[in-house]
A and B are shown apart, each in its own frame.
Chain A
């Protein structure tokens, strides 16, 4: 690193800051040129911007864009908190306790590959289209990656670390709390990251099936009303919130697992 001249460093900095900006600019240019030649298929960025403003001046379903975003986010957060509590707990249980793994493992292996949206018909038939079934769907979608990552992390704990705890005279509880769970924390966190993105996609799918509020319902409304600008407003909002959640989680991971900064 020392041998690198300051000029090279500046070039690198400019490059690594410049390239992402360039990518976004290229997409916008592509968008503008595509939409101007195919106005029926694709609204222009300006149309989308105006439609964005209109979601505040003339709210859809008496709710502004922020209201819709919050409706989606609230469902995800409620489901996530429940899923974190149960999923991590359950993951630790089947990762640590052989009997629990033997008992629950096979059931879980069967349920695991079912994509969360495949549950939508069953959940709607059983619970209708209110708040609860949506939260339940998100819960199903987030619970699975949490359990998988947590139990995998627990199972992967290095024997030597457990021996360290034993030799210093730690009992099972201390070893679980002070050795096993900290070792598994990076994979638990990977599970949390997956659960957030999976929860965010599941809630949109659930809302598209029938909801008064939520970004997913905006997509459906725009689609059914041939209002592609509204669809794009919703889609871009979805993307921005998803990206924000990812950034927040990244920061949080640095706080929770500071030793894991590769």
Chain B
């Protein structure tokens, strides 16, 4: 809560509704995300989290309502939206550095700026040594780091992450969670991070959005007011975790 109120609104979601035929998936969702905010979205499995994300990236168009970035309806051509998928999505025919610069080239960023950003990301993600390697030659966690790096390199208006660590073991997850926080702090990106792991949400987020069961609505916004790095064993942390777990229960 503290300094959040001073930051300008970056993303405004207004009455977002999505229907597939008669099936109502997203029901009149409205919320704001401030510039540079780290927001986690949690909700029961199958509650429409993916649909929600796909509306944000415009893979699906909303049935009603809209998403505004800096006051303008979201548009991948105009805005810088990055996405980290749950599945490995590095382009296998490109080297690590080509993967990281991929989006920048599409956006026609000048070459020296591309080089600068790619180098910065390679440093931050510890990928300098494997910059010429292909994703297939690296470990799964390195591949996920490429994708995260590729998204941050865009310096996106909005960075969407869809359970990016869903497939990973605990150790790797902890490591990459810290990496993401480091990048976010360094680059000041606005992040929406979807997860079903409540501990992960409390560990990462400034603000947690709790979704209801389908059709998804915003049940509550919870600000996590804990210093970083967060201690997952501290009583405050556990308090937040239990609170959100209680809210999410639909059984």
Q: Choose, from A83-91, A121-129, A163-171, A236-244, the stretch at the interface.
A: A163-171
Taken residue by residue from 167 to 196, chain A's Cβ proximity to chain B (1 for < 8 Å, 0 otherwise) reads as: 111100010001100110100000000000
Query: CB < 8 Å: which of A168, A174, A257 contacts B154?
Result: A168
Q: Choose, from B61-69, B82-90, B123-131, B184-192, the stretch at the interface.
A: B82-90
- Residue ID in chain A nearest B160 by CB atoms: A167
Query: CB < 8 Å: which of A167, A174, A182, A258 contacts B76?
Result: A167
Residue from the set A161, A163, A164, A185 with the largest chain B CB neighbour count within 10 Å? A164
Give the residues in chain B near A166, CB-CB below 8 Å. 57, 59, 76
- Residue ID in chain A nearest B89 by CB atoms: A160
Cβ-defined contact, A167 with B83, below 8 A: yes
Interface of A, secondary structure class, is helix
- Residue ID in chain A nearest B86 by CB atoms: A160
- Residue ID in chain B nearest A259 by CB atoms: B134
Q: Complex: how many Å from CA A259 to CA B93?
A: 5
Cβ-defined contact, A169 with B77, below 8 A: yes
Cβ-defined contact, B76 with A168, below 8 A: yes
Cβ-defined contact, B91 with A170, below 8 A: no
* B-side interface size class: 20 to 34
Cβ-defined contact, A161 with B77, below 8 A: no
Cβ-defined contact, B106 with A170, below 8 A: yes
Q: Does B8 contact A (CB under 8 A)?
A: no
Cβ-defined contact, A169 with B136, below 8 A: no
Q: Complex: how many Å from CA A79 to CA B106?
A: 37
Cβ-defined contact, A168 with B107, below 8 A: yes
Q: Complex: how many Å from CA A160 to CA B93?
A: 14
Cβ-defined contact, A164 with B89, below 8 A: yes
Task: Give chain A interface residues in 211-262, CB to chain B under 8 Å.
Answer: 257-260
Extra inter-chain contacts (16) besides given A164-B102, A169-B107, A174-B106, CB under 8 Å: A160-B89, A163-B83, A163-B85, A164-B83, A166-B59, A166-B76, A168-B82, A168-B106, A169-B76, A169-B106, A178-B106, A183-B92, A183-B93, A257-B93, A259-B135, A259-B136
Q: Point out residues on A near B: beta carbons under 8 Å.
A: 160-161, 163-170, 174, 178-179, 182-183, 185, 257-260
Q: Point out residues on B near A: beta carbons under 8 Å.
A: 57, 59, 76-77, 81-83, 85, 87, 89, 91-94, 102-103, 106-107, 134-136, 154
